[in-house]
């Protein structure tokens, strides 16, 4: 089986992550809820992962690095916990439903949402900034499209924004693929998917945010702190981490960071090499339309003139043992902007090979001739 669906979830985990998760499952307690040694040891491990992740992303403070179950939950906190009736928000048509659906809900609550279009298939800083006014409370933008791998110039966006406007970023497809420094780029909130480029397991995510943004909780419950208080604590991370954390998932993020600290640059070079090969060879096939450029995020999107994307994805799996994803990829406005009714998304990682890419190209070429 060849796994090319890494944009959905990472198909390979380093041995160090697997070992750490296995240990966390075998020897675990509820982090910080009790005073015994095992609970305290687990809490210390959670803190270590929090510190590692914050520093890896150029975050602002450890207490403003909040663990979530996935990137979607992190984005919901950043949007539902911050935006209020009367606020104006600018986003793009390239966003995932984890941004679009919370914003659609907020529209009914009196939030005004404006959508920046694409420019030549790209997420363009100028298009975004043209929608911004002095009233814009926040710009919400992905760091890399989950459909095509297109990426905006975040530094240009930040420089063009009014000082008071928040910059909230979806890092699902970027974290673990490229160096990110939130402070240097002026990102106020970054939503992280642990189980993709960060090499952690499913059930892991985070929201990292600056002192300029103070999200209210969107879920409520026990925190192990201020148990006498019927309101949520007013300090982070406890204010946003109600209920028991998934300890093995949190541990896996820390281990993923340590692996990436040593291997991110080499991994990015490998992924660019693979996407370059895919773009060059797939674009040469009659009946194939290419929607991507070589990129460090591992995403190459194509369509077949003679076959729907879902059917092509099924046949690649059934007949060639190659895993890709067809359809709309939870990004309906992006597909509409591309005049697409669904694409075949091939998403590689640094653990894939050129030989595997060659097998995929041969398979798509065979399908294109039917």
Residue 98 has a pLDDT of 98
pLDDT at 56: 98
For CA atoms 129, 218, 183, 296, give the dihedral sign. negative
Burial environment of residue 66 by CB neighbours within 10 A (0 to 12, 13 to 18, 19 or more) = buried
Q: Is the pLDDT of residue 253 over 90?
A: yes
Q: Which CATH number fits domain 2-9+264-368: 3.90.1580.10, 3.40.640.10, 3.40.350.10, 3.90.1150.10?
A: 3.90.1150.10
DSSP string, 115-158: EE-EETTEE-HHHHHTT--TTEEEEEEESS-TTT-----HHHHH
Burial class of residue 208 in the structure, from the number of CB atoms within 10 Å of its CB (0-12 exposed, 13-18 middle, 19+ buried) = buried
- From CA 69, how far away is CA 321, in angstroms rounded? 30
Q: Quick one: average pLDDT of 248-263?
A: 98
Mean predicted lDDT score pLDDT of the chain: 97
Mean pLDDT of 104-113: 98
* pLDDT at site 32: 84
Q: What is the pLDDT of residues 294-306, one digit of tens each?
A: 999 999 999 999 9
Return d(Cα 157, Cα 139) in angstroms, integer: 9
Distance separating alpha carbons of residues 155 and 187, to the nearest angstrom: 9
Fold of 15-259: 3.40.640
pLDDT at residue 246 tops 90: yes
pLDDT per residue as tens digits for the range 140-174: 999 999 999 999 999 999 999 999 999 999 999 99
First-to-last C-alpha distance (Å) of the chain:
23
- Please state the pTM of the whole predicted model: 0.97
pLDDT digits (tens, 9 = 90+) for 33-79: 898 999 999 999 999 999 999 999 999 999 999 999 999 999 999 99
Q: pLDDT per residue over 69-108, tens digit each?
A: 999 999 999 999 999 999 999 999 999 999 999 999 999 9
- Residues paired with residue 166 on neighbouring β-strands, in sequence order: 138
- Residue 4 has what pLDDT? 98
Give the three-state DSSP class for 75: helix
The reply to whether 15-259 shares the fold of 2-9+264-368 is no
The pLDDT tens digits for 187-225 are: 999 999 999 999 999 999 999 999 999 999 999 999 999
Domain extents for the chain?
A: 2-9+264-368, 15-259
Q: What is the pLDDT of residue 8?
A: 98
Mean pLDDT of 340-347: 97
Sequence-ordered list of residues with C-beta below 8 angstroms from that of 230, at least 6 positions apart, any chain: none
* pLDDT for residue 121: 95
Q: Does residue 115 have a pLDDT over 90?
A: yes
Is the per-residue pLDDT at 28 higher than 90? no
* pLDDT bracket for residue 356 (50, 70, 90): very high
């Amino acid at each position: 089986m060849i796994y090319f669906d890494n944009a959905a979830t990472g198909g390979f985990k380093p041995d160090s992550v697997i070992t750490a998760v296995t240990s966390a499952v075998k020897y675990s307690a509820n982090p910080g809820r009790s005073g015994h040694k095992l609970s305290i040891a687990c809490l210390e491990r959670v803190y270590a992962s929090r510190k590692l992740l914050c520093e890896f992303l150029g975050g602002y403070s450890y207490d403003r690095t909040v663990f979530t179950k996935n990137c979607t939950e992190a984005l919901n906190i950043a949007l539902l916990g911050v935006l209020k009736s009367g606020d104006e928000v600018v986003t793009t048509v390239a966003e995932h439903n984890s941004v679009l659906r919370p914003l659609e809900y907020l529209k009914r609550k009196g939030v005004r949402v404006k959508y920046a279009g694409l420019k030549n298939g790209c997420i363009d800083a100028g298009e975004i900034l043209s929608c911004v006014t002095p009233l814009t409370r926040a710009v919400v933008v992905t760091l890399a499209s989950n459909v095509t791998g297109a990426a905006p110039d975040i530094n240009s966006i930040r420089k063009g924004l009014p000082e008071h406007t928040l910059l909230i970023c979806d890092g699902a497809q970027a974290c673990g693929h490229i160096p990110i420094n939130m402070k240097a780029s002026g990102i106020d909130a970054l939503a992280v998917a642990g189980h993709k480029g960060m090499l952690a397991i499913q059930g892991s995510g985070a929201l990292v945010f600056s002192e300029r943004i103070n999200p209210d909780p969107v879920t409520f419950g026990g925190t192990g702190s201020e148990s006498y208080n019927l309101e949520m604590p007013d300090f982070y991370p406890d204010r946003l981490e109600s209920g028991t954390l998934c300890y093995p998932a949190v541990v896996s993020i820390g281990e993923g960071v340590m692996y990436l600290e040593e291997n991110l640059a080499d991994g990015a070079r490998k992924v660019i090499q693979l996407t370059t090969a895919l773009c060059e060879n797939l674009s040469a096939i009659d009946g194939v339309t290419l929607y991507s450029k070589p990129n460090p995020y591992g995403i190459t999107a194509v369509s077949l003139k003679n076959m729907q994307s879902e059917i092509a994805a099924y046949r690649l799996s059934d007949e060639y043992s190659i895993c890709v994803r067809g359809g709309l990829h939870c990004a309906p406005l992006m597909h509409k902007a591309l005049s697409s009714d669904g694409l075949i998304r091939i998403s590689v990682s640094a653990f894939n090979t050129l030989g595997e890419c060659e097998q995929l190209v041969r398979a798509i070429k065979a399908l294109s001739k039917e």
